[in-house]
């Protein structure tokens, strides 16, 4: 027996393989731990697959601070790590030539055969760091040029200290060379060490004031120092040297925007866009802000939407979505709170991209843009090639819906409610904003009936609500996955996407043509109740089955009642019930858009301060720590 084992080991070694040690195995899974797999999908900023590149992917256990010793295998559009310890959280690191190193976190659920996905969006490396040898009287000697090239390679790998050592050697050989001073200044600028950066960049420009790249770097420095007049002065020189230098035009637009010179900001942004170079569409963000400042509302919305379509994962995207929502509301409407942690100076602005703009006072929107598009107008981002098992996803969502109905007796919350109408003359009425004590009862009197009752301010009737129509029913929409209702719809899995940086299966559903319309949603008039035929799209967490977002539309107008359109958008958040060790996902933000008898209505609901009631127990939920949003 022993000789056989030794012989087997010798064969492995002779084949160039290494037997795993105890330490290596511990890096992947504990003894007896169930094993699963992690799939990594790599995409550009626009969401396109990076199929022509060879990525370097590493997986590291955050629980044990140890690397996973195996290597990923290509599988369709993804890279799969197999034999990974289940029930742990891992950090994914991706390196691709020409792109910044990216990191993502993924949690693998417990249980043998568990799987999880990580979607990693790569950002192109700043091409300002590409080495361009100087010409004329400033040509570098070979040794100095070699040190610069080594330094630039380190700089692209974010090894700033090492890069500066190489640049310092080059400076020792060529102290008066403007390019060496430029790259040294860039190293400090990228490290946000503005004072030493200024020393080298000012010297570079003073030696040779006709280098557009150095002028751009110095303009960037002044922008970061909030010296906008100084940035405009130096950047104007850069664009005079090279009018097609779109990055300088981009930075100039940002500087003008901070000075509230919206006209020049718009002109510079449009010149940057006209260059047509790759990634220039990010300038749409600055152009939108300039247009908003000029009061050109529709053009501003178009620019912002173009930016979001091109860069849905940009760090500024959440803030831009808030701006879009603000532009779609009257200027005196109650503003929603900005996402936590996003302020004008907390997002890096090495290139301007997130600049605070005023809340524009603009004219009412034209009627065609009064509401979001129908769910079938455009498809959301999905990972092509990610295998989706529709029965598995539906079963997980069904379990959560059944759990909600069978366990939860009722919940209360504080509701912030706003109603606004776009009148026939296209003017916006003054929004009516109220705050209610909100109560929901969920009852299942029989196997085939679920009752959801909503109460606002005990005793308040629908006729007491502000606006032309009262909106109820948001908590019931997620019950489309409950067995009582799910059979009334056809279901399709559109693929693996994301919601708030979490992988999510995207399901589309629609009222079956051969089934009676369910009462999941209805439209009530004084004389009749109409069941509404719905179609919708839901974002279901990849592991867990929670409904994180839901959008619905009518499959066709309800002509008899004069209801042309009813569009729901519901965002859910987890509310943890500690006593019963369960987390329920309940509505947090609800937008409803209704086109009814020539009227255009928008209702907004925000829920906070949840209190859950279980049979014989209740618990107040703190907001927001006990129910933190997923990262």
Query: pLDDT by residue (tens digit) across 32-61?
Result: 678 999 999 998 877 788 866 678 999 999
CB atoms within 10 A of CB 343: 12
Give Cβ neighbours of residue 49 (< 8 Å, ≥ 6 apart): 41, 42, 43, 77, 384
Q: If we measure between CA atoms, which residue out of 220, 418, 266 comes closest to residue 334?
A: 418
Q: Would you tell me the crossing angle of helices 246-258 and 283-293 to the nearest 10 degrees? A: 30
The pLDDT of residue 384: 74
Encode pLDDT of 326-369 as tens digits. Answer: 787 655 433 333 332 222 222 223 334 333 333 333 333 345 56
Handedness of CA 443, 448, 454, 460 (dihedral sign): negative
pTM (two decimals):
0.64
The pLDDT of residue 4: 36
The pLDDT of residue 325: 78
Q: For the chain, which ranges sit under pLDDT 50?
A: 1-28, 332-366, 620-631
Q: Which long-range contacts (CB under 8 A, 24 or more apart) does 192-197 make?
A: 192/224, 194/221, 194/224, 194/225, 197/221
Handedness of CA 335, 336, 340, 344 (dihedral sign): negative
The full set of domain ranges for the chain reads: 26-122, 390-627
Residue located via tokens 């997980």: 396
Strand ranges across the sheet with 89-95: 66-67, 56-61, 89-95, 102-107
- Could you tell me the CA-to-CA distances from 594 to 70, 312, 602 in Å, in that order? 54, 27, 6
The pLDDT of residue 461: 60
Task: Give the whole-angstrom CA distance, residue 311 versus residue 315.
Answer: 9
> Which CATH code for domain 390-627?
2.50.20
Q: If we measure between CA atoms, which residue out of 284, 282, 355, 363 comes closest to residue 327?
A: 363
The pLDDT of residue 624: 34
Task: Give the whole-angstrom CA distance, residue 94 versus residue 492.
Answer: 32
> Which CATH code for domain 26-122?
2.60.40.10
Q: If we measure between CA atoms, which residue out of 248, 316, 252, 257 comes closest to residue 282?
A: 316
The pLDDT of residue 31: 63
The pLDDT of residue 126: 65
Phi-psi region of 279 (alpha: psi -120 to 50; beta: other; left: phi over 0): left
Q: What is the mean pLDDT of the chain?
A: 78
The pLDDT of residue 29: 57
Residue 26 has which token pair? Answer: 């511990």
């Amino acid at each position: 027996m022993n000789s056989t084992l030794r012989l087997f080991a010798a064969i492995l070694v002779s084949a160039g393989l290494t037997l795993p040690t105890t330490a290596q195995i511990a890096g992947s899974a504990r003894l007896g731990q169930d094993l699963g797999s992690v799939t990594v999908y790599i995409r550009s900023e626009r969401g396109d697959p990076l199929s022509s590149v060879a990525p370097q992917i590493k997986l590291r256990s955050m629980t044990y601070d140890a690397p996973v010793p195996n290597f990923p295998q290509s599988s369709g559009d993804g890279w799969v790590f197999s034999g990974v310890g289940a029930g742990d959280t891992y950090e994914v690191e991706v390196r691709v030539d020409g792109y910044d190193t990216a990191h993502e976190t993924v949690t693998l659920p417990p249980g043998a055969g568990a799987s999880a996905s990580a979607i990693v969006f790569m950002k192109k490396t700043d091409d300002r760091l590409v080495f361009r040898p100087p010409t004329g009287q400033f040509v570098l000697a070979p040794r100095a040029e070699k040190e610069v090239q080594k330094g630039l390679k380190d700089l692209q790998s974010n090894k700033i200290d090492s890069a500066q050592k190489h640049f310092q050697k080059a400076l020792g050989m060529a102290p008066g060379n403007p390019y060496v001073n430029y790259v040294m200044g860039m190293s400090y600028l990228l490290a946000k060490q503005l004072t030493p950066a200024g020393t080298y960049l000012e010297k570079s420009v003073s030696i040779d004031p006709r280098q557009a790249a150095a002028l751009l770097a110095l303009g960037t420095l002044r922008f970061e120092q909030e010296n906008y007049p100084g940035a405009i002065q130096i950047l104007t020189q850069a664009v005079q040297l090279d009018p097609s230098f779109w990055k300088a035009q981009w930075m100039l637009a940002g500087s003008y925007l901070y000075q509230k010179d919206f006209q020049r900001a718009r002109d510079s942004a449009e010149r940057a866009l006209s260059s047509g170079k790759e990634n220039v569409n990010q300038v749409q963000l600055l152009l939108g802000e300039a247009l908003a400042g000029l009061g050109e509302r529709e053009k501003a919305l178009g620019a912002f939407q173009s930016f979001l379509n091109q860069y849905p994962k940009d760090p500024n995207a959440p803030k831009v979505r808030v701006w879009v929502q603000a532009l779609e509301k009257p200027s005196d409407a109650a503003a929603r709170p900005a996402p936590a942690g996003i302020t004008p100076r907390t997002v890096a602005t090495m290139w301007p991209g997130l600049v605070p703009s005023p809340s524009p006072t603009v004219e009412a929107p034209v009627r065609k843009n009064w509401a979001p598009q129908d769910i079938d107008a455009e498809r959301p981002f999905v990972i092509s090639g990610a295998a989706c098992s529709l029965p598995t996803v539906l079963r997980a969502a069904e379990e959560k819906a059944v759990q909600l109905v069978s366990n939860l007796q009722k919940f209360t919350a504080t509701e912030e409610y706003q109603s606004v109408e776009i009148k026939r003359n296209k003017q916006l009425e003054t929004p009516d904003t109220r705050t209610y004590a909100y109560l929901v009862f969920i009852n299942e009197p029989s196997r085939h009936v679920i009752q959801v009752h909503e109460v606002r301010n005990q005793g308040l009737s629908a006729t007491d609500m502000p606006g032309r129509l009262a909106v109820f029913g948001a908590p019931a929409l997620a019950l489309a996955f409950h067995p009582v209702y799910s059979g009334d719809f056809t279901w399709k899995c559109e693929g693996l996407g994301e919601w708030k940086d979490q992988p999510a299966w995207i399901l589309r559903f629609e009222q079956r043509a051969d089934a009676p319309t369910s009462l999941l949603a209805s439209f009530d008039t004084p004389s009749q109740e109409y069941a509404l035929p719905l179609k919708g799209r839901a974002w279901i967490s990849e592991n867990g089955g929670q409904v994180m977002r839901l959008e619905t539309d009518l499959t066709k107008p309800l002509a008899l009642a004069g209801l042309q359109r009813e569009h729901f958008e519901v965002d859910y958040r987890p509310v943890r019930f500690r006593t019963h060790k369960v987390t329920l996902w309940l509505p947090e933000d609800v937008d409803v858009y209704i086109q009814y008898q020539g009227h255009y209505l928008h209702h907004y609901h925000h829920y906070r301060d949840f209190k859950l009631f279980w049979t014989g127990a209740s618990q107040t939920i703190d907001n927001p720590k006990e129910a933190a949003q997923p990262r």
